[in-house]
Copies of this chain bind each other. A is one copy, B any other.
């Protein structure tokens, strides 16, 4: 199987396949006389494994570790669970921040109805006022009744 066949069989871009090889996820295949990569069935399965994990948004490093487990099936699987749990935690953390983001953006969006000049745009007003330290619609916490603290220590990811 040449790289193009593997790409077609798995739906993975050729460049991505070569990238996985460079990254040490896909073992180096044999070569034809002309230097073309020659893949076996095992490569196809391994690539499918990788893509399945990527579809779960696992980082390549985690996939590397999972592949180690496939290669060493006598090891204890505790680390596998931890790995999935960590991934789940990442996803849930991101879900929480995106849910907050969604309502913040919706609140901001509600500040402007129809078309007018930017000078009178409720959205822009909000953003400028918030930069002055005033309360903003987007970062108002209904539960606590107070304005989120945007200044001060803050991570760069929302």
Contact = CB atoms under 8 A, between A and B. Distances in A.
Nearest to A138: B56
A128 B49 contact: yes
Interface string A53-65: 1111100000000
Interface in A67-113: 69-70, 72-78, 80-81, 84-85, 87-88, 91-92, 94-95, 98-99, 101-102, 104-106, 108-109, 112
Contact of A54 (B9, B51, B94, B158): B158
B117 A76 contact: yes
Given A77-B118, A118-B75, A104 B150 contact: no
Interface residues of A, number: 72
A75 B119 CA distance: 8
B92 A124 contact: no
Q: How many copies does the complex hold?
A: 2
Q: Which of A74, A75, A123 has the most CB of B within 10 A?
A: A123
Main DSSP-derived SS at the A contact region: helix
Q: Which of A69, A81, A106, A127 has the most CB of B within 10 A?
A: A127
Interface string A135-151: 01011000000000011
Q: Which of A55, A106, A136 has the most CB of B within 10 A?
A: A55
A127 B139 CA distance: 41
